[in-house]
A and B are shown apart, each in its own frame.
Chain A
């Protein structure tokens, strides 16, 4: 079992002819992901990487039965691309673009709230269901089908955790990178219930970072929902100085909110095991999984 994407997922790529769009489409194809369409306004009728190109998402969906949008277009156009995919009725969108103006995302998330779409990202590494499909940047070789769900704000730490879980033999059901922007399509509390509904997920690793209160809200959800599987958490930015934006637009300790310690305390109080290093994440997962 898995969440969000599996072997049957049919992906359309917005921005398939860009340098990064092309490279990662190839990587996704090599992984076995079904890429059924590309959307590039003005280049409909063409073909690239063995994939037909359409002018609009609506046309691509009608002609190919695509059910998931992978959005990898420049920041100035990304929010509009996400809305186009949502308006076409796609149930899942994954947007990896970094640097989208935050008010564009305020409007886009409000728009998609009235559509069937669940959005992952932006500024995220994407989603991988090992052995079945991946959409986004997660390196092909790191995943291994298994027992642990992963949900993370940081891209590279997502890879670290997946690699650690894979090398130790536990493997992953699905790994979801939710992104590092202040306004996200999905936060921890949107993804955790999906793992709760997936019987194959025996434990969840949650990778948070400084800034905002998504980790605190995740802790509250774990407590109030009675989530019955172990949660192992890791928070990066513990030594970051307040008031400094640490790369991610969302990663900043401002005033009394967003500190690593507050998040660690909230998660610990909710019964999660909080690790000091990625290595310790893997060890704690091992201790908590049924033999």
Chain B
């Protein structure tokens, strides 16, 4: 779950990380009021995707009238598919230098990495690719968090590549200690897998201010932060309920399904286990077919889940056949078979269904399918060829 800029900044502000003064506006009138109160402000589109500046989603205005006009324009925009529902109006900063301070999950080290660079304002991946020596990293003890000396070491390593900051390095390192510790605590509190301040502005008068913020919460931990999800939904959906997400994926999420839409494909795909479904898509493409989706019913799915899954897939009229690939472990073949038969009868499914079923309770599962007139196969490549044939090749 990616939070919007203003949500991230409110979190920063709450824990004592300085951010520019700002107001959220959902209407041009609110934007004008913000400009009246704050003076010169930047009007920034709130969308959960990058590149809004290039798309024209940010404007700097001097008067309430200008603020109104620009807010009308920006609130009517759609940026890379995301309708703009709100703008963040914030005061400018006199920036002397832009730094980067971020926290991200490092899979290989099994820890959060704290990353600091004096080359702020750019994509950190780009800096890492072109001048890795300008990035300093620390992997704090997950229980203790970053210790002051560790942050100081990190700071001196990062600042060594910024001659302009040589003189200020001692003061900066001291200021970065509480900032990094606070940011780390925030990341842990919110179950963030990304928590980034970029740029971290060093102002002309020597303060460190979070000029932009990115916060992404671990999907597995969303249940611990229901208030964030509620707030985000309000910001993304607006009155028409359009989120900018693929509408099929949004619907699947509402139905509690692990689904990825591949628009334009003709073959619906269901399987149990992410690896198996990924492999199912690979197999279909290898024999000239085009999968319409990825849908993993997961481990231990019951008949109802299978029914819901089939119904979901068939909401896209492009789907002209469905391939169900089951290798039962924790998932039981008989449960899946009952779900398929129920779904076919209740939903009146007429497109071809090809079922490949093996694993736990496969004999019972195959019997249920056969009695209902669905002939199950046991080889995945064979089943893939069959569904592609039935649907009529590439489409």
Contacts and interface: CB of A to CB of B under 8 A. Distances in A.
A203 B112 CA distance: 35
Main secondary structure, interface of B, reads mixed
Given A137-B329, A156-B327, A256-B129, A182 B105 contact: yes
A183 B110 contact: yes
B364 interface: no
B381 A209 contact: no
The contact size tier of chain A is 35 or more
Nearest to B217: A101
A276 B286 contact: yes
A283 interface: no
Contacts of B345: none
A180 interface: yes
A136 B300 CA distance: 13
A247 B277 contact: yes
A279 interface: yes
A246 B105 contact: no
A152 to B, nearest CB: 8
B295 to A, nearest CB: 9
B108 interface: yes
Contacts of B220: 75, 99-102, 249
Interface stretch (A43-51, A57-65, A85-93, A104-112): A104-112
Interface stretch (B33-41, B61-69, B267-275, B303-311): B267-275
Interface string A252-279: 0001100000000000000000001111
A288 B362 CA distance: 32
B107 A182 contact: yes
A83 B111 CA distance: 16
A5 interface: no
Interface stretch (A8-16, A143-151, A191-199, A232-240): A232-240
Given A110-B111, A180-B275, A101 B125 contact: no
Interface string B288-327: 0001001010111000000000000000000000000001
Contacts, number: 161
Given A139-B328, A155-B299, A217-B108, A251 B274 contact: yes
Contacts of B285: 239
Contact of B277 (A75, A103, A109, A246): A246
A211 B299 CA distance: 21
A209 B278 CA distance: 9
Contacts of B221: 101-104
B360 interface: yes
B5 to A, nearest CB: 20
B294 A101 contact: no
B360 A250 contact: no
A31 to B, nearest CB: 12
Contacts of A279: 381
A98 B298 contact: yes
Interface of A: 20, 24, 27, 75-76, 96, 98-107, 109-111, 125, 136-139, 142, 152-157, 159-160, 163, 180, 182-184, 207, 209-210, 212-214, 217, 236-241, 244-251, 255-256, 276-279
7 contacts: A106-B110, A110-B142, A154-B275, A156-B327, A244-B294, A246-B274, A250-B107
